Amino acid sequence: MVVDLLGFPPRILEGPFRLDNYRYRTTARLSELRPIESVPLEEFGALLHFDPWWVFRGVLGVQREWVEAAFATNVAHPFRHQGRTFKIQGLLRSAAFHPGDIDLIALRPAPQATPAAPIARRAKAL
């Protein structure tokens, strides 16, 4: 799990955590969290995340390649299904979907094939 700690770059939490009154809790210490750069770039190809605030767009203290890889996995943008436009955060109240209806990995931004931008979408600084 990627955690966003105020005043620190994103870190990786490997270990137990639990949901407690709408908050995630863990017994892990800050020193046990790994930098996001410890995740090999090629592993981002199988991931997706929902980040409507696009926090990786303006993140500091992370190598640019990892920012770009994380940015490319964000599915927090509108998509079309059966002639209608949806957003991930509105799915539960706006439509019923069945297993196999939507390929979430396919909702990631399409790669842009240019030598200067080998990773899907280029993050913009705020």
pLDDT of residue 93: 55
Q: Is it the case that residue 40 has pLDDT exceeding 90?
A: yes
Q: What is the reported pLDDT for 94?
A: 55
* Cα–Cα distance measured from residue 8 to residue 41, given in angstroms and rounded to the nearest whole number: 21
Domain ranges of the chain: 1-38, 39-126
| pLDDT, tens digit (0-9, with 9 covering 90-100), for 41-75 | 998 878 777 777 777 777 888 999 998 888 888 87
Q: What is the pTM of this model?
A: 0.61
The proportion of the chain whose per-residue pLDDT surpasses 90, expressed as a percent, equals 7
Concatenated DSSP letters for 45-79? GG--B--TT-GGGG--SS-HHHHHHHHTTB--S-E
Residue with tokens 């799990």: 1
Task: Give the count of beta carbons closer than 10 Å to the beta carbon of residue 121.
Answer: 17
Question: What is the pLDDT confidence band of residue 114, given thresholds at 50, 70 and 90?
Answer: very low
User: Does the pLDDT at position 92 exceed 70?
Assistant: no
